[in-house]
Amino acid sequence: MLRLLPEYVLDALEYARESKTFVLTSKEAERASLLELSHSIEKGFSLRFPRNPFGKEKAQRLRDAIDRYQIKHGADEYSHIAMAIVKEHSDFTANSIGIDKIESSVRQIVSRKPIHQASDELRELIGGRRSTRQFRSKAPDIESVRRAIETAMSAPSSCNRQSTVVHYFDSRADIAKVLSVQGGAAPFADEVPALVVVTTRLAAWDSPNERLQGMVDGGMFAMNLLLALEVEGFVSCPLNLAMVHQKLKQLRRTSRIPADERPVVAIAFGYPENEYRVARSLRRNVEDVLVCHR
């Protein structure tokens, strides 16, 4: 308990200081508010039969948020998109016209074909990915890394706040410094040609109920990234960053991660050898995992 309680206190203080629970302390926090409020209206438009009127209070909050943002930071793509959403909401609710009458930039019509032909490949990709600790020494192609990150950005995000940041390292010296703090990768650290640290911006979150949401968003992003790296021809190994605050400070200092970002997970990756060993990693039976509530 003596070791546990101080960590909880430090968690709370960090969240209170860096999140937008009490005040919009940064441009990133205000940008997250624009995304959150915009998405709350977008969700209304995405329903089969949107109520009319809907979201009046949130639309007003979004207008106020746009004004504050542009006064302090100027107009940019985030405020322009938010303004378009406000206009379409105003047109829809004021004129009482049907959703199909609006040339909407906030509602995307998706027609998806069955993926039966690709389902076996998708199962193989998801089920065949293994944590790999042996890599070729060749440095990754940065454009392949960019594509993998862009693919991973399709991961769901609470209210579309997209709090995740990816810190990329391909210098042997930098990788060695980060992994020396992480500790668990010591037996194969010398073989790692590239490393990312996935973080969540605390400024995207507010209120006590969202205190852990960044870890959820970051985790979903990281899983997407692991699969996207496989598609680009890499193998990878996620490395846990479960640390006490003293270690987190050391990690931030070593990897130049800002104080308003909370590390979620690190991922070592690179090109595979022709043959390499992986852990068998026995999986539980589905009966031990699935609980049907009927």
CA torsion sign for 250, 196, 31, 36 is: negative
What does the buried/exposed string (b/e) look like for 96-111 if buried means 16 or more CB atoms within 10 Å of the residue's CB?
Answer: eeebeebebebbeeee
Over residues 57-82, the mean pLDDT reads 92
Question: pLDDT digit string (tens) for 101-159?
Answer: 444 555 555 555 555 556 888 888 888 899 999 999 999 999 999 999 999 999 999 99
CATH 3.40.109.10 residue spans of the chain: 119-270
The domain 119-270 having CATH identifier 3.30.1300.10: the answer here is no
Q: What is the pTM of this model?
A: 0.87
Q: Are 257 and 251 in contact (CB under 8 A)?
A: yes
What's the confidence (pLDDT) of residue 158? 94
With a cut of 80, say whether residue 167 has pLDDT above it. Answer: yes
Q: Are 196 and 239 in contact (CB under 8 A)?
A: no
Over residues 245-260, the mean pLDDT reads 95
**How far is the C-alpha of 224 from the C-alpha of 153, rounded, in Å?**
8
Residue 98 pLDDT level (bands cut at 50, 70, 90): very low
What's the confidence (pLDDT) of residue 72? 92
What's the confidence (pLDDT) of residue 118? 65
